[in-house]
Amino acid sequence: MAEEFEVGNSEEFERMISNGDIRINRALVRTVLKNLKSKKRHHHALSVICINDGEIYDVTIDKKDFQHTLETTLPKYEKEELYEDCSKIVEALEYLKKNKKK
């Protein structure tokens, strides 16, 4: 199940992204790890509920972006000292590289 974030408005969510909020990264990584072997192309990662706007934004991740997502997120996990999760990310990257379609 995708994670849900409640924010005041879309600008607040954009600030979360700009500031590299670890909760967004965690939602994306969990989605990737859970769907590594899936045949589906797009996976629902999170929903953003904007209280003031009355809008809901669903964020999906394309299977083609799994490797890039993990590679860019790994340093953030290291900075947060989430080492157990780092090892899962490294294993997933190895799996993706090994099973990359040529």
- pLDDT score, position 60: 96
Q: Do 78 and 86 meet the contact criterion of CB atoms below 8 Å apart?
A: yes
The whole-chain average pLDDT of the chain stands at 93
pTM (2 d.p.): 0.89
Residue-wise pLDDT tens digits, 59-80:
999 999 999 999 999 999 999 9
- pLDDT score, position 101: 67
The values of phi and psi at residue 13, to 5°, are -65, -40
The full set of domain ranges for the chain reads 3-98
- DSSP structure string for 51-79: TTTTEEEEEEEEGGGHHHHHHHHHHHHHH
Q: What is the DSSP letter of 41?
A: S
